[in-house]
Amino acid sequence: MVTFSLSKSAPKSATVVDVPMTTEEVAALPAARKTQLSNAGFEGKVGQTLAIVADGTRTEVLVGLGAENKISTKSLRSSAAAFVRSTKKHSVLASTLLSHALPMEPTEALPAVVQGLALPLYRFDAYKTEKKGKQKRIALVASGPGLRPALSKASAIVDAVAMARDFGNEPGGSLTPDVFAKRAKKLAADPSLTTTVWTEKRIEREKLGGILAVNQGSEHPPRLLKIEYKPKGKASAKVALVGKGITFDSGGLSLKSNAGMMTMKIDMAGGAAVLATMLALPAVKSKVAVTAYVPLTDNMTGGNAQRPGDVFTARNGKTVEVLNTDAEGRLVLADALSLAAEAKPDAIIDIATLTGASTMALGKSYAALLGSSNELCGRLIEASKATSEKVWRLPLPSEYRKKLDSPVADLKNIGSDRFAGASIAGLFLENFTDGLPWAHIDLGMSALTESDKGTDVKGATGFGVRLLIELLENWE
Ligand code: BES
Ligand code: ZN
Ligand code: ZN
C-alpha cells in the first residue's frame, strides 16, 4: 500500500508535494491569484485540491485545510485523503500536512494524517491477474519529538484496517472458518498474543450449541478462535472482545433473496475487526488485558440444516427456538458471549453485521451502539469521535423483552413483530452477558461501501478497527 518515512524537508525524489492552505491563507492572496484559484475550484476548503506543475519536474498540489480554527483530526484526515487521491500516477510523495496542523502538535496530528494518506490507497487485488495497486512512498515532512514512535503506532493501525478489509473482501468460498482461523494464527505472531483454535470436536465438548446449530447446514466445520493479549506489567483492566464470524450468510433455510445474499461474504466483518484490533495492541502498547472470541461458521442450506422451529441449548444453558435461520449471528454470538462472560472481564464488547434494521434506522455511515453499561457506551462514543467512525446509541427497552418469549424454549431468536429489529437483536444478546458491563456494535451495512470516498475504498471498510484500537489504547 504505502511506506512512510520522516524527513526535515521534502526529498528530491518526491515528484509531488502538497501545499496545505487554510481558507484564510487563500483569502489573503492577491486578488488576481485568488480569482484564478477560485475559477479552478480551489478556495482552501477541506476536500479541495488543485495540482500545479511547479518547475517541470515536481507537481505541487494545493490542499484545502478549511478555516484555521476548525482544523481537527477529522478535517486533517479528509485533507490528507483528498491529497493522496489527487496523486494517482506519482509513486514518491512528500506531505507537509504535519507541519501545517496549526492548532495541533505534529504527533497529535500524525495518526489522522497517516490514516488519510494510507487508507484511500488500499486495494484488494488478490484475484486480479494484473496487480494495479502500486506501492507508494510518502515522506512526512515534520520535526519535533516523539514522531518516530507515533509513526510506528499509526502504521500498525492502518495495517490492521487493511487486514480487516482483506478478510472482508475475500470470497466466502475461500475464507472458510478453517482458513480464517489459520490465517489469524499466522498473523498473531507477536509474543504478547496467544491464539487458541477449537475444532468441531472441542466445540461439541464445550457445548457451543449456537455455533453447532448454525453449522448444521454446512460442508465446512466450524471453529472458535480465541486470542489473548497480555500487556507488559500489570493490566489496568480486563476486556473481552467478541466478533461475529459468519464466513458466508445465505440465510439458511430462511433463504435470502439474490440481492440480499450478494454481499454476504462481509458477514465476518465483526470477527475481522476484532482480529485486526488484537494484532495492533502490541504496537500501541495497550495496558489492558484483552481476550478476543470469534465464532466461525458459514450459514448454509445443506440437508441437515436447522429448520425453523428447531431448538438448541446455548453454552450458558439457555434454550433457543430458532424461527428464522437468517437471524444466525445472534446464535453464534450467544455462545461466544457466554464464554467471554465466564472469565468475568470488566467489560464485554461485541461487534457484528447483525441486522439490516440498524441500517434502516441509521443509514450506512453509522453503526448502531447498544449496551447495558452507560459508562462503556460513553467510552465507545468518545473513541468514535476521535476516529470518525460514527456510532449512534439505540435503546434496549425492557418492555420489548417479552417479544422474545417462546412457547417452547427460554427464548426465540426473532421478535414477534417487524419493529425495532436492532434493539430486539440486542435484547436477545443481553441474555448471554451474565449481567456484566456490555456494549454491542451493530455494523449493519457500515461494513461495506459502494464508492471510493474519504478514506474508504469500494468494498469492505474495516469499520470498527480504529475505534476499538483507540478505545483500548487509551483506556484508563
Ligand atoms: N447478516 C445479516 C444482517 C445484515 C444484512 C448485515 C445486510 C449487513 C447487511 C443477518 O444475519 C440477518 O440476516 N439478519 C436478519 C435478521 C432478521 C431475520 C430478524 C435481518 O436483518 O434481516
Ligand atoms: Zn442472516
Ligand atoms: Zn448474518
Average pLDDT of each block of 10 consecutive residues along the chain (476 residues)? 95 96 98 97 98 85 97 97 95 96 92 98 96 89 96 98 98 98 98 98 99 98 99 97 99 98 98 99 98 99 98 99 99 99 99 98 98 98 97 98 98 98 99 99 98 97 98 96
- What is the pLDDT, as a whole number, of residue 228? 99
Cα distances (Å, whole numbers) of residue 204 to 55, 209, 316: 69, 8, 14
- What is the pLDDT, as a whole number, of residue 99? 93
Give the nearest ligand 1 atom to 256 CA: 13
In a domain, 300, yes or no: yes
Count of structural domains within the chain:
2
45, 330, 379, 412: the active-site residue: 330
Same domain, 301 and 427: yes
In a domain, 68, yes or no: yes
Q: What count of other Cβ atoms lies within 10 Å of the Cβ of residue 50?
A: 19
Q: Of 117, 144, 171, which residue is a domain's last?
A: 144
Same domain, 137 and 224: no
In a domain, 150, yes or no: no
- CB < 8 Å & 24+ apart, contacts of 375-383: 375/437, 376/347, 376/349, 376/437, 376/438, 376/439, 377/439, 379/471, 379/475, 380/349, 380/439, 380/441, 380/467, 380/471, 383/467, 383/468, 383/470, 383/471, 383/474
Same domain, 127 and 200: no
Give the nearest ligand 1 atom to 355 CA: 21
Cα distances (Å, whole numbers) of residue 234 to 231, 237, 323, 357, 409: 7, 9, 46, 41, 43
In a domain, 212, yes or no: yes
Nearest to 347 by CA among 301, 260, 261, 288: 288
Same domain, 216 and 171: yes
| Whole-number Å distance between alpha carbons of 76 and 100 | 10
- What is the pLDDT, as a whole number, of residue 54? 73
- What is the pLDDT, as a whole number, of residue 134? 78
Q: Is 328 in the pocket of ligand 1 (CB under 6 A)?
A: yes
Q: Is 249 in the pocket of ligand 1 (CB under 6 A)?
A: yes
Give the nearest ligand 1 atom to 267 CA: 1
C-alpha cell, 425: 437483536
Q: What count of other Cβ atoms lies within 10 Å of the Cβ of residue 218?
A: 22
Query: How far is residue 311 CA from its own chain's centroid?
Result: 33
Cα distances (Å, whole numbers) of residue 341 to 7, 412, 428: 48, 21, 15
74, 183, 230, 256: the active-site residue: 256
Please name the residues in contact with 130: beta carbons below 8 A apart, sequence gap of 6 or more: none
Residue nearest to atom 17 of ligand 1 (CA): 327
pTM more than 0.95: yes
Burial zone of 383 (CB within 10 Å; 0-12 exposed, 13-18 middle, 19+ buried): buried
Inter-axis angle of helices 177-187 and 147-169, to 10 degrees? 170
Q: Is 442 in the pocket of ligand 1 (CB under 6 A)?
A: no
- What is the pLDDT, as a whole number, of residue 102? 82
Q: Of 144, 168, 195, which residue is a domain's last?
A: 144
Is 330 one of the annotated active-site residues of the chain?
yes
Q: Rounded to the nearest whole angstrom, what is the distance from the C-alpha of residue 260 to the centroid of ligand 2?
A: 10
The CATH number of the domain holding residue 294 is 3.40.630.10
Provide φ and ψ at 475, rounded to 5°. -65, 130
Same domain, 136 and 173: no
DSSP state of 453: B
Range of the domain at 291: 157-473
Is 418 one of the annotated active-site residues of the chain?
no
Q: Of 87, 121, 144, which residue is a domain's last?
A: 144
How far does the chain reach from its first CA to its final CA, in angstroms? 33
Cα distances (Å, whole numbers) of residue 310 to 189, 208, 215, 253, 448: 41, 16, 13, 12, 32
Same domain, 32 and 127: yes
Same domain, 124 and 163: no
Q: Is 445 in the pocket of ligand 1 (CB under 6 A)?
A: yes
Same domain, 135 and 208: no
Q: Rounded to the nearest whole angstrom, what is the distance from the C-alpha of residue 120 to the centroid of ligand 3?
A: 27
Q: Is 387 in the pocket of ligand 1 (CB under 6 A)?
A: no
Counting Cα atoms < 13 Å in the Cβ hemisphere of 178 gives 8
Q: Is 356 in the pocket of ligand 1 (CB under 6 A)?
A: yes
The CATH number of the domain holding residue 43 is 3.40.220.10
For β-strands 347-352 and 238-243, DSSP reports them as parallel
One-letter amino acid for residue 144 of the chain: G
Counting Cα atoms < 13 Å in the Cβ hemisphere of 4 gives 29
Burial zone of 418 (CB within 10 Å; 0-12 exposed, 13-18 middle, 19+ buried): exposed
**Where is 322: in which H helix or E strand?**
strand 319-322
- What is the pLDDT, as a whole number, of residue 289? 98
The number of the ligand nearest the C-alpha atom of 422 reads 1
Same domain, 309 and 452: yes
Same domain, 208 and 326: yes
Same domain, 165 and 91: no
Q: Rounded to the nearest whole angstrom, what is the distance from the C-alpha of residue 356 to the centroid of ligand 3?
A: 9
Please name the residues in contact with 139: beta carbons below 8 A apart, sequence gap of 6 or more: 4, 5, 6, 7, 10, 11, 14, 92, 93, 94, 95
Q: Rounded to the nearest whole angstrom, what is the distance from the C-alpha of residue 350 to the centroid of ligand 2?
A: 17
Give the nearest ligand 1 atom to 260 CA: 7
Same domain, 111 and 177: no
In a domain, 270, yes or no: yes
- What is the pLDDT, as a whole number, of residue 56? 72
Q: Is 327 in the pocket of ligand 1 (CB under 6 A)?
A: yes
Query: How far is residue 220 CA from its own chain's centroid?
Result: 26
